[in-house]
Chain A
């Protein structure tokens, strides 16, 4: 009895900690709007945004935009994940490949995907391909760099064990290197997916006629700041959901170590 009581209060505490600050922020925002401190044309109140959100959901247009954007992100991220993982493993395992590719990777990495838009249009036109390309560029580098790092951090002590036991090269890679790099690879995929989703607005600057990025740009031209905010919040929520899915997968796969939850 006492035990379940404690668990119940713990749950309430965790729930409050998780949502409390956000709720407070929304309340203050709403209050300041009602008191006339914040002009609705500059920043519409949460209640108005909620209403627009509901309307866009009800007429189905928001879901349509989300569907278009998510598909683009999954395509771009999927290509980035496959290429980033394979190239990252190759580079991580081969000194020669690492020396040959390092300079190229380091120079291209800092170029923001948005700077690629003119070339993307020249190369792929204004259709789906150029948008997927921009998203791919955003997701590719976090994946490849974390994969290389993870492999490079293979524990030297385990390398010695594998040498002593004369473990074959393929088993060494499959049973020592890749599992050891796995946490780092998952981090790369998480960051990659996040950046891919962040790039959706940049990608949809290219002559789009649908997608959450398009929704924001379109509303901007019509000065509908409430719709802009609906688009922004939608991006935030979906990004959070995608991240949750990957971290859930990570927890399911990595069962072999306890997780640090903070001091």
Chain B
């Protein structure tokens, strides 16, 4: 299900490099990243930890400055955060002292706008948490809290939704549940989504394309289109073949680990 009807690029990354300086030594986090993401596309980025995939996401979010190269959202250069981009982090990052409802309205710039009440309940419905408007974050399970943070990111109706290893700290069953939810939301909202993960299955299950990154310095090793119909069957032949191909990008034949599926 490629979005061939809307091929306008949403995000254009050209020759992007980013370095950190640690004790006068240059540490190359990203080198020569080129990536074009289309409107409505779901792109998954996989890589081992330290490959710069989170740095890439933070640059797109506008949280990291001082990069070399071009990063264009629509036609505008990204130079800081903006409401046109939403972000879901690995931790839910909800404000512990605000209720679920207040946490979601925290993302609404003008609180006097009359969309608030309906928008919030709509988004609570969307993430399947209708009855929890007045709960505090500490009363929620990890998966529920992450749903709230997705609702918070969506409530501004961003053009681009960024996920930074969003289900990394959830148990395997909740994780699969959440992946299905994200897919459902993506199909309903048609938001362009970029997901950074170290879970190959998750990337294949969700992405229109899977970007494979390698570490030190972080570069794009390969971009693999996933031409499978959704919802995807993780145990289908095609799925396992793609999984195998991506494993081969990370591990040589000799040290290839046991095929594992969550």
Contact = CB atoms under 8 A, between A and B. Distances in A.
B136 A255 contact: yes
Interface stretch (A8-16, A49-57, A158-166): A158-166
B86, B96, B137: which has the most chain A beta carbons within 10 Å?
B96
A182 B95 CA distance: 13
Interface of A: 157-158, 160-161, 163-167, 175-176, 179-180, 182, 254-258
Contact of B98 (A175, A182, A257): A175
Nearest to B99: A256
A164 B86 contact: yes
A176 B156 contact: no
A257 B138 contact: yes
Contact of A160 (B63, B86, B95, B136): B63
B106 A175 contact: yes
B85 interface: yes
Contact of A256 (B89, B91, B109, B138): B138
Nearest to A157: B93
Contacts of A160: 63, 89, 93
B128 interface: no
A249 to B, nearest CB: 16
Interface residues of B, number: 24
Given A161-B89, A164-B62, 9 more contacts: A164-B81, A164-B87, A165-B83, A166-B82, A166-B109, A175-B95, A255-B136, A256-B136, A258-B138
B105 to A, nearest CB: 10
B107 interface: yes
A165 B89 contact: no
Interface string B69-90: 0000000000001110111010
B95 A166 contact: no
Nearest to B89: A157
Nearest to B111: A171
B142 to A, nearest CB: 15
Contacts of A166: 81-83, 109
A163 B97 contact: no
A163 B63 contact: yes
Contact of B96 (A161, A163, A164, A256): A256
A176 B107 contact: no
Contacts of A163: 62-63, 81
A35 B137 CA distance: 61
Contacts of B226: none
